Amino acid sequence: MKMRDAVYSFIFEPEKAEKLLPEVSKTNKFYEYLQRMDDLRISFVDFSNWLLAKAALILIFGFGLVLILFGLKALIA
């Protein structure tokens, strides 16, 4: 039960995990697993932020390109 609570807390409630982790030995493989989970969580957040930024840039430049094309069409017509 303590391990399950520690995993849940580490992923969803990091401030609560700080209280539970001293009960788990820091030389334990479980602690290494928690560290890897935290690294994965951080890298996923970085990737999702990067992906969101790319999508926003594509939308902005795509909308700008459409406006330019309509502007050129209006000038020609």
Q: What whole-number distance in Å separates Cα of residue 40 and Cα of residue 28?
A: 19
Q: Residue 30: CB partners within 8 Å, gap ≥ 6?
A: 3, 6, 24
- Please list the ranges in the chain whose pLDDT falls under 70: 1-28
**Per-residue pLDDT reduced to its tens digit, 3-13:** 666 666 666 66
Please say whether the beta carbons of 2 and 24 come within 8 A: yes
User: Which residue segment(s) compose the domain that 24 sits in?
Assistant: 2-76
Could you tell me the pTM of the whole model?
0.41
pLDDT score at 48? 81
